[in-house]
Structure 1
Amino acid sequence: MTLVEINFDGLVGPSHNYAGLSLGNLASASHGGDPSYPRAAALQGLDKMRHNLALGLVQGFFAPLPRPNDGFTAALGVLDAGDPAQVRLRAAAWSASAMWTANAATVSPAPDTADGRCHLTAANLVTMPHRSHEWPDTVRQLRLAFAATAHFAVHDAVPACFGDEGAANHMRMAAHHAAPGIELFVYGRPGGRFPARQHEQASRAVARLHGLDPARTLFIEQSGEAIAAGAFHNDVVAVANERVLFTHEAAFADPEGTYTAIRAALPEAEIVVVPTSAVSLADAIKSYLFNGQLLTLPGGEMGLVIPLEAWETPSVRGWLDTMLASNGPIRRVLPVDVRQSMANGGGPACLRLRVVADPATIDPRFLLDPARIDTLSAVIAAHWPEQIDPADIGTDTLARTVRAARGALLDAAGLGELA
């Protein structure tokens, strides 16, 4: 069995809109009430998938979840479209935020687990109402994609009393993807300016469910300064790939203690720290430098897929140019255009869930090749709304359009079970 890293990107759904529902996500808040462009957003996401596929990487996708979720609004008794509180709840039922599949689940590959299977635990996402109703549909999709129970175990979300935001607060390091690794769970402390979305006990529960070796499992406190500055998930200020941790100086509450623990558990670890003096925390978060995809390319070198916003930020560009001129482990920087996602607070890494597995063990309908991307692109061009204005949210006309668009996609992808 050949284990490789597969990135599963969330396809941006036809209800993609800017309702500003995510407290602590500065980009989401700043664009709240703006018109959105679902067709452009989905095509940008597919272009990123096509870009990574062309690099020689294995690429998968997840379909949008059913929206609007009428069961969510019915359970809350939402009836009055003119009540401001109910308007926000109605918008929560329309959210396309499941496109950020870094929050779909936490994944532990087979080399790390007690039973030798890849384990996936869906994230409950309870801190934000607009995301709290995602996980049951996410589990349905995960259990379809990873149905081979000899190779995978898919767990329901941990109880809602402990907030879990999935792989956005989890990193894995190893000599190479198929080797036993160490798993890093990053959690926040409550009481700051913005909610700490990842609870320590949720992380510990996931580690137990996955049968991880306690000696190779680290629980790391996120910096309160980073959360207050808008790093609502750890992947906004740190990312890991194989032996490399790429992090901002202010990512962790105890940076030196964190680095020491990582090196003790994985002696070959390389830690690349960007100092505040070179890139401020504000610039790191606004540009989403660390929300890039740190990838091992087929030739063995590492590449960093970043949003154009990072490439266009002078302090970030200056640091990247210096890094590329050095002999560090990251050898290529690859900018991509995901501006529609970025405006709602999610960069290239938010859009993908990393799974180390043998592609032959995964339902092939979730894996992409150029022809399949062309098929999905054609469906989006034909069916996704070009523009959604805030006043459109909640209308019957848009609901019919959104449901028909998703139905056309599921038909084209052969995923009728998800209808």
Structure 2
Amino acid sequence: MNWSDHAIWWHVYPLGFLGNGRRKLPDLADWLDHLLTLGCNGLMLGPVFAAESHGYDTTDHFRVDPRLGTEADLVALIDKARSRGVRVMLDGVFNHVGRSYPQFRAGAADWFVPAGDDFQVFEGHRNLVTLNHANPAVADQVAGVLDYWTSRGVDAWRLDAAYAVPVPFWRTVTDRVRAKHPGVWFSGEIIHGDYSAYVVEGGLDTVTQYELWKAIWSSLNDTNPHELAWALTRHNEMLATFAPQTFVGNHDVTRIASRLTEPRHLPHALAVLFTVGGVPSVYAGDERGWRAVKQERAGGDDAIRPEFPPAPDDLGTDGSEIQHLHQQLIGIRRRHPWLVRATTEMHTLGDGVMAYTLMTEAGRLAVALNFGGRRVAAKLPPAAWSHEAGDATIDPSGAVDLPSLAWSIASAP
């Protein structure tokens, strides 16, 4: 296994987390114990480079945003994380830049894509000017940025809006960076399209599994396990090529606790996240069941990117039972690390009920979920099933009786 096969990420949006300049990156070191207590071993950071506002309108890829501190602050955080066995991922925004970017201010037109009297922008956002990825100077710049910060201890990169960048461009820069840093891990933000192409042709290691994210909350809200089952079939196909980056929350979407119409479905969503193949991440605050809705308006992301208290002890006890559930499920993941590339086999799929197994030579895991409000039965293969989590028990015969909204996870040799 590569180091990334053991990674479970805790995802932080630093500008919001640290209060937009009220605190600096060194304060994140105080949260490493919280990350480790959850069972995570990776710190995924949102944008940390100089930018005009929200961090995705970059003005200088080689400078840490002054609102967050200095380069020395970032390197010190990376060093402290590494001393605790925690990997660090940075957010690389290389599809677009802010209008204060040096090459834009200098009128370097060949760095950008013309559009009428102006230049092409990202998804209608005038302040996000699209880079010209056909220009070799742009590839040189991106490869240089990746090399600069990877040389300072960064282990992994989230490539923002990777879906908007021509696939061959990614191969150009990732090959160059891997030649110097063979252990670096690249995760592309892909919302739709041919996920595997970004790995096979683009040279990325993984992509964000938005199909699975949507299917988890949508199938639970609709009491329709068939949608999730279809997504898991697609997920199996991806696992033949790569281990997708899985999640039920991030800095761009409504929090899972607000997305689910039935609060008692939260364990079901987390059970899927932490049992199916892939590399999971937890968006900071979700482990306490925080609620927030993303809105399509200026400032519509603010609610899902809030400021955190100075230290974990300041969180109080609200949501501590949800944090315990995360710890329990991540603990299962840690005991069965082979799950990272395990495919799902469906055994029961019916009206509001789903039961599946994951299996390798290293072991077996069984999951049974009741999506609905009536008692249902599910059938799994017979085995010496040992209860791991949930409010129902899987019999050695494979039979499981699931009361309303019950769920169960069991393992076997």
Structure with greater proportional strand content: 2
TM, length-normalised to structure 2: 0.32
TM, length-normalised to structure 1: 0.32
CA radius of gyration, larger in: 2
Higher relative contact order (CA 8 A, sep 6+): 1
